[in-house]
Amino acid sequence: MNIRPIHTDNDYKAALRELSAYFSNEPEMGTEDGDRFEILATLVEAYEANHFPVEAPDPIEAIRFRMEQGGLTAKDLVPYIGRANRVYEVLNGKRSLTIEMIRNLHRNLGIPAESLIGPE
């Protein structure tokens, strides 16, 4: 099996081309092709994690995204955040989320707690 690490953009593109051939007919695990597919996928994933990191959304963006997904309005957030003026303060970035708000939004709207806590 001749597999090399992915160091450059050209290496990355070549690995993607080779991987894409397997997508239409995914090889069986445990076979030589299956092992090659798994190794290439792992290498591509590692390269992408280092070169194209996906940052967690800002807590307000996460709330707005969930609102858009569910067709929710600010009024719908009152049970989870508090009075309407508090909801607007949170959505406008003038008030931080409390632990209780985070728990409520996570538990009731399914917003990942990590997104609501925000970056370190």
pLDDT of 35-61, one tens digit each?
999 999 999 999 999 999 877 778 999
What are the strands, taking DSSP E only, across 1-115? none
**What is the rounded distance in angstroms from the CA atom of residue 79 to the CA atom of residue 100?**
11
| Average pLDDT along the chain | 92
Region 3-12: mean pLDDT is 93
CA dist 37 to 9, 24, 32, 95, Å? Answer: 19, 12, 9, 48
**What is the rounded distance in angstroms from the CA atom of residue 34 to the CA atom of residue 22?**
9
Residue 77 shares a structural domain with residue 96: yes
Residue 64 shares a structural domain with residue 105: yes
The pLDDT score that the predictor gives to residue 55 is 77
Note down the domain range covering 34.
9-51
The pLDDT score that the predictor gives to residue 14 is 93
Region 77-97: mean pLDDT is 96
Residue 76 located in a structural domain: yes
Amino acid at position 49, single letter: A
**What is the rounded distance in angstroms from the CA atom of residue 62 to the CA atom of residue 103?**
14
Tell me how many domains the chain contains. 2
The pLDDT score that the predictor gives to residue 120 is 62
Residue 91 located in a structural domain: yes
Residue 69 shares a structural domain with residue 111: yes
Q: For 62, phi and psi rounded to 5 degrees?
A: -65, -45
